Amino acid sequence: MKSGALGDAHAELGDKEKAMSFYKKAASSTENDMLAPYYLHKLAMLYYSEGKTKEAAEQLEIIKAKYPDSNEFRDAEKLLARLQ
């Protein structure tokens, strides 16, 4: 959770690259079915806001594949449809 909180802080400060780095770390350091998709979704949204649609789609696909019961699953499906 520490990495996720640091990601949030950097996102608030406008340092999206550092925020993305911390969100990646937060998502990969946990297999928690609530936290991992949450941080993957945040990472995807930052990629999307930066125009990095391929990277955003990759994160959303991970959510779809690994976390079908998560709250972020439906958003991932919607956003993937929009990106295609």
Each residue of 4-31: b (16+ CB within 10 Å) or e? bebbbebbeeeebeebbbbbbbbbeebe
Taking alpha carbons only, the member of 10, 46, 29 closest to residue 58 is 46
Residue 59 to residue 64: CA distance in whole angstroms: 9
pLDDT digits (tens, 9 = 90+) for 33-48: 899 999 999 999 999 9
pLDDT digits (tens, 9 = 90+) for 6-36: 999 999 999 999 999 999 999 998 778 899 9
Q: Which domains does the chain have, with CATH numbers?
A: 2-83 (1.25.40.10)
Residue 1: pLDDT over 80: no
- pTM recorded for the entire structure: 0.91
